[in-house]
Structure 1
Amino acid sequence: MPNLFCTFAGALFGALLFLAVPVVAQQDGGLSNTGVVQSLILTIAPERLYSESAFGQRIAREIEAESLEIASENRRIEAELTAEERELTELRDSLPQEDFRERADAFDEKVQQLRREQDEKARALGQRTDEARRALLTAAQPVLSQLMIESSAVAILDRRAVLLSADAVDITDEAIARVDARFGDGADILPLRP
């Protein structure tokens, strides 16, 4: 009986040792000979993937330029409305009250309409950022899938949703490099704005 127990214990120890080898490889960063971490679970920071990629930076520049245009347009509109309001105020005493009221109401309607138009432009700009993020994540799916295959991973998790992980399983930098290599500034993902 003791010999059977020793044989079983030896086999169990050998199996545990065999299973421990991958764990040790992962603890030391788990880099394979291809330079990609070997782990069942990987993490990524989607916001960094977007903001640090050439595509995300191009979109940010375009949005900044459009924001500056909207701000400039707002200042021009504000100056025109201020001048128009001043002119209307000066006419108050020289116009019949009914004519003045018509002009004042038309001015108020114009102000409200311009405000709605400018607010809509600002909202559209915010939506464009969200649209660009979604478009990049959709386009990057094959790149991320390839990283999963190379890493022998079964999942890539959003780093913000993970309580604790080793930095070695974060593939954000590698994903950015590969997305940049594949898509450049992303004109194929979202066309350049004129």
Structure 2
Amino acid sequence: MALSGPGTVPALAQELVSPAPNAAAEFQLGLPQSGILTIQPDRLFSESAFGKRVEREIEAEGAVLTAENRRIEAELRAEELELTERRSDMAPDAFRALADAFDQKVQETRRRQDQKLREINQMGEDARREFITASLPVLQQIMRETGAGAILDHASVFLSADAADITSLAIGRIDAVLGDGATVEESER
């Protein structure tokens, strides 16, 4: 392409500064037009319908475990008091055997209850991974609409315009697509 001749430079300059007709149609009003967007992942999850449902489920499981722990603790305390009362009527070796068995029971109970707590915590971690995976198409669509090449964690960005943060926009769109996610989780079971 030759750059000489009348009107050539202005026409070339016009091509460089004017977006292609289809490119303008891809962008939507109200969306940030930025090469880099930011998102607050914790807020994205916790304020979404999906995250709120998961939080309610985890709280319910935690409440059940707490009630179970209190019941077990009361039972063990009663058993310990009974064992202590029987001590004066028992031979030292017999008492030691019962005390050791009781201690083993307490340790095993503690291990079981700790395992249940780890499982509840794992539920939360699994749900976050599932949420991010299910949210990716929505986030990718926002990237296409804004012309962004990346979405960064807001916490790792030193300085950005508030308009570059798409957390609220993403929550609304993800809620519209996933809802509370109960049907997504049920279909995977």
Q: Give the TM-score taking structure 2 as reference length.
A: 0.83
Corresponding residue for 1:98?
93
Percent identical pairs in the alignment equals 54
Shift of 1:97: 2.1
Equivalences for residues 41-80 of structure 1 within 5 A: 41-80=36-75
Please, which of 151, 175, 180 is the counterpart of residue 156 of structure 1?
A: 151
Q: Structure 2: where are the runs of 5+ without partners?
A: 1-8, 20-26
Distance in 1 separating the partners of 2:33 and 2:92: 81
Q: Within 2, Cα distance between the matches of 1:185 and 1:63?
A: 14
> What do the CA deviations read for 1:26-62 (whole angstroms, capped 9, x no partner)?
xxxxxx5432221111111111110000000000001
Unmatched 5+ residue regions in structure 1?
1-9, 22-31
- What's the CA shift for 1:125? 1.5
Structure with the larger RCO, 1 or 2 (CA within 8 Å, 6+ apart): 2
Give yes or no for contact 1:136–1:189 (8 Å, CA) kept in 2: no
Please, what TM-score do these two structures have when normalized by structure 1? 0.81
Note the C-alpha offset of 1:98: 2.1
Query: Which amino acid is 1:38 matched to?
Result: Q
The count of corresponding residues between Structure 1 and Structure 2 is: 171
The runs of at least 4 aligned residues of structure 1 exceeding 4 Å deviation read none
Matched with 2:161 is 166
Does the 8 Å CA contact 1:42/1:156 hold for their aligned counterparts?
Answer: yes
In structure 1, what is the equivalent of residue 172 of structure 2? 177
Secondary structure, aligned partner of 1:76: helix
Alpha-carbon distance, 1:18 to partner: 4.0
| Separation in structure 2 between the aligned mates of residue 33 and residue 59 of structure 1, nearest angstrom | 32
The residue that corresponds to 2:106 in the other structure is 111
- Provide the aligned C-alpha RMSD in A: 2.3
Task: Give the residue type in structure 2 aligned to 1:129.
Answer: G
